[in-house]
Amino acid sequence: MTGKAGFVPLVYVSFTSLWRYHYPMAPPPIRQPVRILGIDPGLRRTGWGVIESEGNRLSFVGCGSVEPPDDLPLASRLLAIHEGLAAVLGDYRPAEAAVEQTFVNKDGVATLKLGQARGVAMLAPAMFGISVAEYAPNQVKKTVVGAGHADKNQIAVMLKILLPKADPKSPDAADALAIAITHAHHRAGVELRLKVAGA
């Protein structure tokens, strides 16, 4: 609407009413990198791998294996695995851990022994107050390679792409890194399941 002389009258708005609709923008939350320990349990050689996950970005921290002497009795081997993993946990201070589930084969005795090594592998992080996720071997392969029946060479190739600085000295250490990568991809779903279970 225009006035008599063609002027447009000014509209006055109080600053009080404007301030009522003004909300200061909160800064976006800072994503902290999460350090993850992957464990590939075994009586002769237990592989371990540590990575950091920050959003979609993965970075290599360290890897290796715990190798008890072959001539040790079973109980001493299990103790050596526990002590080796406890040293890794103390050195690298991961926030979360993941372990590969036992692959059940026709040799019941071998499966039982592997299960005992896996129990120790789960116990060590738990004693540090760290949650432990479990992943089936096929799920690890599918996550890292894209195929549930991928072989170790395919996993090694993908590790070089996903973690260029990683240089695992054994297949067990490489598998442990693959398990850590799997957890990095699925950890949000694992946290949700744990919350639902605890509700």
Residues that are catalytic: 40, 100, 172
Q: In what order do the strands lie in the sheet with 57-66?
A: 57-66, 46-54, 34-40, 96-100, 131-135
Q: How many residues does the chain have?
A: 199
Tell me the two tokens of residue 150: 């991928």
For the four alpha carbons of 150, 141, 180 and 31, in that order, the dihedral sign comes to: positive
Q: Reduce the DSSP state of residue 62 to 3 states and report it.
A: strand
CB contact at 8 A, 176 and 94: no
Rounding to the nearest 10 degrees, give the CA dihedral for residues 64, 103, 139, 198. Answer: -90
Q: What tokens does 46 get?
A: 């237990």
CB 118, CB 39: distance < 8 Å: no
Amino acid at 99: V
